[in-house]
Structure 1
């Protein structure tokens, strides 16, 4: 697919796969493919959740229901560990949504890299990125929502005065107020930035490895060398795919846990003021 839209070289192939289907330019650019796949996966979560709710069985639950209940219990335990069993009602559903949604978006990276773009090309769509978390806008947008919730709970629990005191007197006390303001501001802003960049960096790197493996037989013709490179490509693809399953799951878990921790810190710190 890439060779039909570019000159067929390695650089062109990678650039093509890193280009979003978008409208607008600059700050007003919208990556349509990111929005489409994000909303489709979000809709899938809602659909499955609705079906599970309609078919709940308390006496003889099926395997899928048991698996779902296991995930729910796992997330609930993570929240209780951070909040001491006194978490607001929003936290557990938010953590569960983040875990599943981020995992599904990451899972798109396990689909053969040229499959969906090739189908889209056949329908006249020349550019398409199918992994929302490899678009920096997605992780940073999610991290920004977490940051806004953190500020909200800080203000709700500490009050405006208590929140301002955190900037004035943390971490070095009342004699270093200018330093405290700078340090605390950097600390607070670093949370959403690191949260988003960690997810983006790992997923972008994983997608890039799949591209590099695909380059082994890019534009190859039927020859003796193909008999060597193609089996090697299959082995490398399979090995990286198996390892990447761990990566996508770990990144979804880390994003969820850090969200819980950051929101929990707003409540824990309140006890010390």
Structure 2
């Protein structure tokens, strides 16, 4: 149910798109969004606790439903890593699992009613609270930049400092000194495009989905009388239909983020 907007649908949406941030925060890319950080940390802890409990209670016999589900997820993620990455998977496997489940859980917060968490936090005097961390570009860039650091780390680890520098200056056009600068420039563009594409793809899809939920929620209080009830019914139907479809979106986006993370790190191991 949407809370009654005092200034129309536009003000309602603007209110819900405002992050909870310290007064000292200047906004923009470097702003500290307490709501995104809090939700992501809570979901991360719950994910770790959930899998730890299942691993602790795992049996060699017929597994329960919870253990079977966890094993299916583990086998699915490990299969994706095995298909793309042919090196030691002891680090990349758990990393891929963490990325997939954590991003999925953060995306799934979009399925909660738009006004639920803001209504709860208002009871504690908190005026703004956004529930979907992946609809926050600061959060998606933080994750993608972490992947970028891993790409650089594995590039140096697999090729050494000299080998990686040689690759940056000699691929793809060749070793001639006149081509060093063009090669280096193109490789920098390629490197920069990886975290940008990761962050923007996830953010764009989740932000759009969140905005659609807000627009539909605005129908709940868009009118009075018979027209109001008609819009209310349309809002319920629209919310349900979009929610079911959105389950596919949040799953695909988590899968894409995981697969691209694996692919980018695998590419860091390849020698040109």
Q: TM-score range by the shorter chain?
A: over 0.9
Q: Does 1:248 align with 2:250?
A: yes
CA shift for structure 1 position 227: 2.4
Alignment match, 1:49: 51
Count of residues in Structure 1 that have an aligned counterpart in Structure 2? 267
Alignment match, 2:200: 197
**Rounded Cα–Cα distance in structure 1 between residues aligned with 2:114 and 2:126:** 15
Please list the CA deviations of residues 50-108 of structure 1 after superposition, one character each: whole Å capped at 9, or x if unmatched.
21122111112111111110110111111111122x23421000000000000000000
CA shift for structure 1 position 213: 0.9
Alignment match, 1:30: 32
Alignment match, 1:168: 169
TM-score (norm 2): 0.94
Alignment match, 1:60: 62
Correspondence for 2:219 among 206, 216, 219: 216
Identify unmatched segments of 5+ residues in structure 1: none
Is contact 1:99–1:252 with CA below 8 Å preserved after alignment?
A: yes
CA shift for structure 1 position 235: 1.1
Alignment match, 1:102: 103
**Rounded Cα–Cα distance in structure 1 between residues aligned with 2:193 and 2:71:** 34
Q: Which runs of 4+ in 1 moved over 6 A?
A: none
**Rounded Cα–Cα distance in structure 1 between residues aligned with 2:188 and 2:261:** 18
CA shift for structure 1 position 125: 1.0
Please list the CA deviations of residues 106-163 of structure 1 after superposition, one character each: whole Å capped at 9, or x if unmatched.
0000001011111211221110001110111111111111110110010011011111
- Higher mean displacement: 6-15 or 93-102: 6-15
Is contact 2:104–2:254 with CA below 8 Å preserved after alignment?
A: yes
Identify unmatched segments of 5+ residues in structure 2: none
Alignment partner of 2:18: what SS? coil
- Higher mean displacement: 9-18 or 105-114: 9-18
Correspondence for 2:262 among 252, 260, 263: 260
Is contact 1:79–1:87 with CA below 8 Å preserved after alignment?
A: no
Alignment match, 2:140: 139
- Higher mean displacement: 28-37 or 204-213: 28-37
- Higher mean displacement: 121-130 or 23-32: 23-32
Please list the CA deviations of residues 7-41 of structure 1 after superposition, one character each: whole Å capped at 9, or x if unmatched.
33111111100101111323653111111101100
Alignment partner of 1:30: what SS? coil
Q: What are the residue-to-residue correspondences of 1:175-194 with 2, within 5 Å?
A: 175=176, 176-194=179-197
Instruction: Tell me how large the CA RMSD over aligned residues is.
Output: 1.6
CA shift for structure 1 position 182: 0.9
TM-score (norm 1): 0.93
Alignment match, 1:206: 209
Alignment match, 1:124: 125
